[in-house]
Amino acid sequence: MAQHTLVNPAGLHDPVPYGYSHTAAVPAGAGLVLIAGQYGSGPDGAVVGADFEAQVGQSFRNLATALAAHGLDLADVAQLRTYVVDHDFARLGVIAGAVKEAWGDRPPVQTLLGVASLAAPDVLFEVEAVAVRAPAE
């Protein structure tokens, strides 16, 4: 169960179809878990292939694995930062679809950055996250 509140204020456009929410509030006493950029790699670190959609899917699966190491899941993510090589509207659609699949109509706050390159030449997408752990009772 998410330990943060998402709000999309009246007066701002509906961001949900684009795969993000405008704001997230974290309650006092909650712990934050920071997840470094996850890219579309298998356990050996090799990129799963040149297909952008496959890299996005694997990146989100890797994010879920990193969260599970802390007893959390995707619902606990309050914020994403996504990095896209050669960003265009088609790639935005792929990302929005993956976010909808993972978070439904409750997508986290997200900033998307178009970049010239990432850590390795074959990496086309990377996602980092801030997740929220329930406040101590």
Options 3.30.479.10, 3.30.1330.40, 3.40.640.10, 3.30.420.40; CATH for 5-133 is: 3.30.1330.40
- Write out pLDDT tens, residues 113-124: 999 999 999 999
DSSP string, 39-65: ESB-TTS-B--S-HHHHHHHHHHHHHH
Could you report the per-residue pLDDT of 15-54, keeping only the tens digit for each?
999 899 999 999 888 999 999 999 999 999 999 999 999 9
Going by C-alpha positions, the residue among 6, 5, 33, 42 that lies closest to residue 22 is 6
Question: pTM of this prediction?
Answer: 0.91
Look over the chain and give the mean of its residue pLDDT values, rounded to a whole number. 94
